[in-house]
A and B are shown apart, each in its own frame.
Chain A
Amino acid sequence: MRKLLALISVLGLTVLMISCDKGIEPLEVVGPSAFSGKVTFEGQWPEGIKRTHVVVFKEEIKSVGDFFLPNLSFVVDSIPYGTKEFTYNSLEKPFSTIFKFAPGTYKYVVVAQSKTPVLTFNRADWTVVGVYCESGNQANPKTMIVNPGKTTTDVNITVDFQNPPPQPPM
């Protein structure tokens, strides 16, 4: 009996100790996280292009499903047809306020084009024309790291219509 009462007492003390933790607490306010850069277009724009966006993915595209939500993390507002140079900032030019950008690591940042007037979720409608990459090697995507409350700059992408990058799975 004494052992049992001792056990209950120990359990009670344990409860008291762990309960001193308050659990969920208010998080500190962190300023907006963002990325910015420049897209440079080389060569003649293809005919019939209706949409051109900088698109950010968390992970590389390994299957058709990875091309869309939730791996698709952010879409910059559409780039006008025929543009030669486009400067952007994710805070100023989001495609939609539905998309909330968060700090983190993003392994595939691209420029993608579509010939449909509305934004679709059909993989076949989209062509990747430029990749954020190391030393101009578009087969080797560069990871974009965005720290909390900071803006990652120089996320520059060159689109060479004569030399398109490897296409993700269709």
Chain B
Amino acid sequence: MKKIFLIMFLFPLVYITAQTGILTGKVINEKGQPVFGASVLIAGTARGASADENGNFEIQNIPGGTYDVQVSAISYEKKTLNNILINESTKAITIILTEALIQTEQIIVSAGKYEQRVQDLTVSTAVLQPEVISKKNHLTFDDLLRYVPGIQMNLEQVSIRGSSGYSKGAGARVLVALNGLPMYSGDNGDIVWEMIPVADIERVEIIKGPASSLYGSTAIGGVINIITKGSVKKPITNFRSYFGAYDKPSYDVWDWSGSYRQFFGAELTHSNSYENLGYTFSIKKFDNDSYRQNDFTKRYLGYVKLNYDLTQENKLTFFANYFSMNRGNFLYWKDSRNVLVPKDEDNGNTVKSNRIFTGLIYHHHFSDELTSEFKTSYYRTKFTGYGLEITTSTADLLRGEALVNYKTSNEFLITGGIELSYANVASNIFKNPTFFGGAGYAQAEYKGIPDLILTAGFRYDYIKLDTTNGKNAVTPRAGLNYKFTNDLILRASVGTGFRAPTPSEVFTSTAVGGGVSVIENPNLTYETSFSFEVGMHYMMKDISLDAAFYQTDYNNFIEPNLTKEGDIQFFNISKARIQGLELVSDWNIIPSMLTFSVGYNYMWSRDIEKNKSMKYRPRNTVYTNLRFTPAQFEFGVDFRYWSRVEEIDFALTEPPLALVVDGEQRVPAYITDLMAGCNFFIMNIPAKVYINAKNIFNYNYVEFIGNLAPIRNYSLSFELFF
């Protein structure tokens, strides 16, 4: 295997020169503002570039000839410039994009591990822009996901279309990746959202549905792939800071502190390039006193990224991310009269954690038909929990992947790759297990029939968790995309998925208070799924509608449950089914000024064996957003609703254990947020100021038992670019 990696690494160093030209230029909108992140592609080749903060782009080493140039960007209509002549000189062009609500032309890479347009996909997808994070002052990345139709956050645990309930972070069913490199930890497979370098995000791609056939075990519920920005040609420094405070709680009896609890953050990011080396440095500090007692967080994040163009065909990207956190450990409220105060036995418990995540991506462009990538990552996580007993875990996760894309013709594209991963855990609650995984995958895309795209692929995984028997899994999938008319695209996909239990689900052995313990289950086996989706995307000039019906059947679904002895253990539920209908519509009411978006998801989940709903899955969810952008100002209203969840961990809320007093308290959620902002200049330096008021009606709800969601809070954020 080492030889294969070595060959993949060294083989691309052959470089052939020829007569080439340079295409350079600027992408702006109708207001003359630069369109950051716009994608410029030379049609029929794999050559392209992204526009920088000033809208500038440059594509080098283009073989002489006449080309069509395609330009696309999120929220803009795609534009094609025909017959652009490229010769030995530098060709400079200016491209003006027209704003459009319908977001179908942007490039995404994650769905098939190669560049695809959204309208060519066979599965439901959402693409998010980084501006949303700063405008709405989301304190952490998971806050952003709370506004995406089809995504449900249960505290810090993400669920796409009901894939997960809540298991205290143990065992994610959604793969979160940074530039395609998975960010789950080696011990409990959790995702620490604060680690994501928000300042360097170019876009976020969300695949709503099983993606095990390309991404393996953790992607059984979907994929969230975060793409970082490319290199900049000119130095740019970004400073962003925010300050906010929580309002008083709704009831005086809940006002445990007598003060307005505060949160604060500051982030400095600098990007530049030196010859062929582009670099980005970022440091961030963000603290939160929290509206709850013993729920504080003090966090530091350091991030560095290097993009080195060895040649036009060979590119190297390296990034490293260091995160340190000290926080209170609020598990459950004391009771309904003390919802912002932890149980007496938990008060004062804290957790300290340090994490480092590094990745190296080597990209080689053999030809317009053949490209390859070698990706490797190292993720070290360490935490120490201080409470009645001290809990510790240190995990090292190594991962490597070699990927090849081969286009045999304009009609046929093949993607294939191999993956290896190894984890080593040292812990007093997860034991000291090791983990090994090996996988190979292949997928083909066929475009030979007009208006029709067919995809088919499969993945083979071998996974061995410590002393448990090694397991094999084969996960095939197929999909189609049909452009029925210019306005209507139909899609369908069918596939299987699997998920291996994490070390924490198998080996956790610790007390959780009140005389109850979590105990290990070495017999825990793999869960599998079979799913299908049919969907359509309809576009008119100012309106788009996306509809999807989906169904997933799970076998051996893993969930925590109560044993007959009164302990908590992860079990395999024999069968579970989730069916749903998702509708998303965007309206451009006044072009470039007033937009309205609405998303509705009906989800029927059930444990087939017990004929009950699955835990923490609301049946109805609604998301709406109204945005008004006159001149340099911006105003927005967000509203979210989800119905009261039917099933929760009743074993924890009801006697005889009743660990969480009044824990059965849950309601439908109605959350309304307001945002107002302004873009302006201070001594010719671009600046932004945004004011946010979240949960303006101070509505009291829970995402998980015994945990009141954030009460009304106000924040002011300020951003400078120089």
Contacts and interface: CB of A to CB of B under 8 A. Distances in A.
B336 A24 contact: yes
B99 interface: no
Q: Interface majority SS on A: helix, strand, loop or mixed?
A: loop
Q: Among A73, A96, A100, find the residue whose CB has the most chain B CB atoms closer than 10 A.
A: A100
Given A8-B596, A100-B655, A24 B667 contact: yes
Interface string A85-127: 0000000000011111110000000000000000001000000
Interface string B564-591: 1110000000000000000000010100
A24 B708 contact: yes
A82 B535 CA distance: 72
Interface of B: 250-251, 253-254, 335-337, 339, 514-516, 562-566, 587, 589, 596, 624, 626, 637, 639, 650-651, 654-658, 662, 665-667, 669-670, 672, 697-702, 708
Contacts of B624: 11
Nearest to B702: A24
Nearest to A27: B336
Given A19-B672, A70-B650, A96-B515, 19 more contacts: A4-B587, A23-B700, A24-B667, A24-B700, A24-B701, A25-B700, A26-B254, A26-B336, A27-B662, A27-B665, A65-B564, A68-B565, A69-B563, A69-B564, A74-B656, A97-B515, A98-B516, A99-B656, A100-B658
B697 A20 contact: yes
A72 to B, nearest CB: 7
Given A24-B667, A26-B251, A70 B515 contact: no
Given A15-B639, A27-B336, A29-B337, A98 B670 contact: no
Contacts of A18: 670
Interface string A61-76: 0000100111011100
B587 A24 contact: no
Interface of A: 1, 4-5, 8, 11-12, 15, 18-27, 29, 65, 68-70, 72-74, 96-102, 121
Contacts of A99: 655-657
B336 A25 contact: yes
A72 B650 CA distance: 14
A94 to B, nearest CB: 10
22 contacts: A15-B639, A15-B670, A15-B672, A18-B670, A19-B697, A21-B670, A24-B339, A24-B666, A24-B700, A26-B339, A27-B335, A27-B336, A27-B337, A27-B665, A69-B563, A69-B564, A69-B565, A69-B651, A96-B515, A98-B514, A98-B566, A121-B564
Contacts of A25: 250-251, 336, 700
Contact of A100 (B562, B657, B700): B657
A95 B708 CA distance: 33
A77 to B, nearest CB: 14
B614 to A, nearest CB: 18
A69 B665 contact: no
A79 B651 CA distance: 28
